[in-house]
Amino acid sequence: MGREYSRFIIWVIASTALSALTAYNFISLLSQSLDATFGDVFPAIPFAALLTLLFALRWGELREILSRESGLTSEPAARLAGIATIAGLLLLRGFDSQSVVLSGVAIILTFYATSLALNPGARKFILPYAITYAAGISAPTILQWAFGDPLVALSSYLSAWVVSLTGVPVTWQGPQFSLVSKAGGLVTATVTPGCSSIISITTFLGLLALMHFDLRKDVGSTLKLAIAGVIALTLLNAVRISILVWVGYSSGAAALWGVHNWVGYGLFLGFYLVALVIYARMKGSADGGNAVVGQFRGEVKGLTRSDTGTLGLERPWSDCPPFS
């Protein structure tokens, strides 16, 4: 095993161990969030695998950087910055342990700071990933606070328009709607900022940024897909709400409650797969994304190896899953 592999393994082990200290409550908070939303941790698995793959696509490049790392006395300023960051995260761990978002950001900072301390030569390579991951985790909360109300109004308007095309008898009062199911039961819900497509949009843009790093596509192509994706996801959110309204009308509140957390999840995965195919065929940079993918395949061979919200009976649509 080359020293670059040893350095990578040591970095992962050290970062994981330190993360258990700086964000000791993250697993519990994440599990609670997923259980409250889906009743299962499965939805996180495909996204975790995808994030790992998007990072692994450039393993050959990272391996080359690690192979050039000097001894422990090299780049002392970067190493001290990493150690200082870890110390700061340890001092603040009681603060970030109260929020799954803050705990997630703390883990990302821990991995990056550990890289600074152990492998400072890789800092420029890892920094874009750290920024993208941190932004992807924290941006939904910030955007909900800043633009939540306008997006709620837009989502409610589009949803009401789509529902009107289906003929389902439903009454809208701003972001709140009510209907009587075919069985005679009353279903009432309110669209809130958390379920106005913010999370699905930020998740898509984060994944698109990672694909831009890995596949090295033209900036213009990336921006075009980003704009088209934001528009498409906003419309898909209206479709999602309309599907849930139809389920509530045709089968009652119990059926609606059983599917509402999964509808957006399925829509987003389908949308992302289509977007991935389109992006792969779009204009790339001079060397193109195929070279990166081919390099990754060579490395593998050499080693032989939503938009969904919470909708309930006479309750606000307030809790939102990680992929809505």
Helix (H) or strand (E) holding 302: helix 288-302
pLDDT, tens digit (0-9, with 9 covering 90-100), for 148-162 = 888 889 989 999 999
Question: What mean pLDDT is predicted for residues 199-207?
Answer: 88
pLDDT-based confidence at residue 313 (cuts at 50, 70, 90) = very low
The pLDDT score that the predictor gives to residue 282 is: 85
pLDDT, tens digit (0-9, with 9 covering 90-100), for 212-269 = 888 888 889 999 999 999 999 999 999 988 888 898 888 887 887 777 777 888 888 8
The token pair that represents 39 in the structure block:
């009743």
The pLDDT score that the predictor gives to residue 303 is: 38
Report the candidate in 126, 124, 122, 112 with the shortest Cα–Cα distance to residue 82: 112
Q: What is the rounded CA–CA span in Å between residue 5 and residue 88?
A: 29
Question: Which is it for strands 315-317 and 186-191: parallel, antiparallel or unpaired?
Answer: parallel
- 8: left (phi > 0), else alpha (psi -120 to 50), else beta? alpha
Helix (H) or strand (E) holding 172: strand 170-173
* Annotated domain spans of the chain: 3-317
Report the candidate in 282, 307, 322, 77 with the shortest Cα–Cα distance to residue 197: 307
Q: Which residue has the higher pLDDT, 162 or 48?
A: 162
- pTM to 2 decimal places: 0.75
